[in-house]
Amino acid sequence: MNHFFLISKENWDKILVKLLGEYYVYAPILTDNYQDYRFILEEDINNIIYNTPKPTSPLKTFFVPVKENVVKTIPDTRMRIILGIPSCDLMALGLLDAIYLSEPLDMYYQHKRESTILIGTDCHSILEHCHCTIYGIQPYPEKYHDISLSVLNQDVFLTINSEKGETLFKKLSVNGLFRETGKDELENIINKRNEIVSLLKDANKDLPDYISTGELIKGSGEEIWQKYTKACVSCGACAAICPTCTCFLLIDRPEFEKVRQLDACQYPAFERVAAGEDPLGRRHVRFRNRYLCKYVWKPQKFEPVACTGCGRCIEACIGKISKNELFKELARVLV
């Protein structure tokens, strides 16, 4: 386990005030009964939410905006810090990296990654649809972050996970406000992590794992997809809110403007081609296609998982469709 460094919450807040003068800082804030990432001003620091599962918007919105001019965009040179990122969003970033940082390289995505410092956070509770552990993801940062953070008993614990994180930490620790975590304090962190892992495993004990889900989808017939698609309105909310869905259109506009706009395989005519042919013309076929992509096709090409178990798609669905209930039913029928 990495070394943990401790600082009081009071001193951590003072450090954040200083960071605001040098970086763009974003963190989860509770607004109108939901939490989401916001650009932080000094008056917001006391309202930052720590160790709470998933902000409403996925982390991908910082790196793959809904709309982006990929010709005229002038990159901002100021570094930004994104604070309080749950493990499910960090692990999703692994898949985005595999897609956008491979050849052909996406320089806009690369610039955003290089100019962003990611501070992940442990989850100290679970929500109804959280199921990260069933897909091999822990409810605390393991990869794709620069620093991880946990708040216990008004103390802030940090671990360093990258060169960018080390550079920032050295800048933060010049006043001697940090100390290494003691044995008992470290045990408290481990116990809290184990508690949340246990809660997640118990809540999702009937849900098949990532690889098994892909096999179940491949072996399924049309009937179950037609059943669950009855409530689908093809709104695409599941794909829009998903931290790993990245389909997009390139739209040419006058004056040499080219806009990349996120798309979704749930939209009618997503795959329509010349003469009106559409392999995904039927709604239940589009619905199944999304899960084939996540659990069958993506694993054939990429190492990072294409579903990180955040559950946002279930919460965003207008038709109240639960993919978890679908997969549990598939497991009962086919196993």
pLDDT at position 175: 79
CB-based burial label for 44 (10 Å; 0-12, 13-18, 19+)? middle
The amino acid occupying position 155 is: D
Give 54's contacts (C-beta < 8 A, 6+ positions apart): 86, 88, 89, 127, 130, 310, 311, 312
pLDDT at position 32: 75
pLDDT at position 31: 79
Q: What is the pTM of this model?
A: 0.92
pLDDT at position 335: 63
Residue written as tokens 């946990």? Answer: 150
Give the ranges where 103-259 is alpha helix by DSSP (H). 107-114, 163-172, 183-203, 210-218, 222-229, 237-241
Residue 134's closest CA among 224, 74, 199? 199
pLDDT at position 308: 97
> Coil, strand, or helix at residue 299?
helix
Tell me the C-alpha to C-alpha distance, in Å, between residue 285 and each of 30, 131, 245.
38, 25, 17
Alpha-carbon gap, residue 142 to 284, rounded angstroms: 36
> Pairing between strand 257-262 and 67-69?
antiparallel
Q: Which residues of the chain have pLDDT under 50?
A: none
pLDDT at position 17: 94
User: Across the chain, how many H-helices and E-strands are there?
Assistant: 12, 11
pLDDT at position 73: 66
pLDDT at position 272: 85
pLDDT at position 74: 67
Peptide bond into 268 cis (omega under 30): no
